[in-house]
Structure 1
């Protein structure tokens, strides 16, 4: 049995209940309940400012909730407490290095752990190789001699050298070169596979997250709004008639919904199970709305026996997960004109 499988049989690493976080009296997080299993890979997606980083900081125990409880391995834990120190590691979106050499940056955590100095060289070399950097070429380099991507990789090596139980990555590939982004992703997955490390990742690369994660959680306005793939429709919304509202797209089409929004600026979700796409003009059912768009991308998800399909309609993109058989039967291909139908009553407001 693999290390990851053995770990997944143990107590959940995280159990959150009644979590609220306020900054200057403004609520930025409201997580009623969340459980993360040991050895799992969990992705968090959502627009900027939706609360992903706030939640990750609390999961990393560098910040604490204003209200509620976070249990780590069944026990209450607080920032910098012994139960989580060195066991949970956060790689922030913009990591900072100490004004020292690469070697000293990576060895710093080993010093805090009071690891025997005779082990530093091998451990640091191994960590550098895990992130695709040659120890001979990089160990002696100073912090200012690194590119942005190399800074991220050294910062990740400084976490991996400690073999954390939980590795939390906040937008790990944002603003880095393609080679570094791929290496960061590969290194994180190696930690999951080889060590059973629990991974928590916030990002915008939904294709990668849906490919690697056991669960992908959608966030909006500091709240969890669903798991899996959802399409968020942002306001403003204009009232067409009593109980009928529209979002005007830049190509002149309208997304219609049959329920009053809390505010004209509110965001809405039409659950994926209610959205249908076809290459030919469909026969509309009573209460359905029709949109026309262009298929912009297809990506295969072998593990789920599914195909991820993205259709752009004006300035709105709909992304759906379809069974492979349906995608093959309909012969979908990029650039194809697509018809979208959904019941106008199938809306959830946030």
Structure 2
């Protein structure tokens, strides 16, 4: 989420014309200052686009350090060809298996705000496919979340609850990264997660409050045992996962379903340790006991039943994603049969609270 009113713009503009008017083509503000989550002590990050014929071209891909407005300022020097080549290569690879260097480069350049030479800067970035990049970053985060869930389950089953707590927190961080991707934020600085989340006006406030509770607060703040904390934290994990999957596969009804976060509904509810995954259009569900393939209907039921839903609510949500599925007696009968199957598999229980 780029800062619509970039700080230090006048100072940067003056600095460019005083120092690089002959050799530079453009200069852009990058990093936390451009993205809007800088602190009062954050450095200034700049990207200087230089003419290939300039003497500075020998310093391509190197950094200068200066002071602007009394702040340490790091300036990355780049020629247009360097950006174009790297963007073309990573685009051709569809942003798969990006290394740390490529990821940092893409984030720094693609989110920078041009202060001088905006037209030239934007022309250089035409080879960057942001939609494909965001989709791949979402897939990467979901893949990491799936692997992290497996690690967590192993610790949980072994009774190693102390390390399981750490695994839960890592899972929540990865899933918040994934959720931010659905809003277009692919930032690579995990330590700024909460500040980044705070900039997204359409993000459910329960996400930030829940993340604060389970990622930062002391366990004994509300819970008497690590086991109890894990059970509740994993219910919050399912809440985040629901938002991600609904936004990815059923974006038009996401806000309606995810706005009703409530673990105490007297209705059908999933186990606390449950993970949904879709790989190559095949849906999987993982629990503390097993993994199995399911269909899209079952995945949707499990997606929304982390909240606790009665049969009428489930039928209503189905009618939203498929108008042909009116909340008729036939629909209720079909869903009741499917819920019974999920109950028999241990994927749903009747929440008596």
TM range (shorter): under 0.3
Decide which structure has greater helix share: 2
Structure (1 or 2) with the larger CA radius of gyration: 2
With CA pairs under 8 Å and 6+ residues apart, which has the higher RCO, 1 or 2? 1
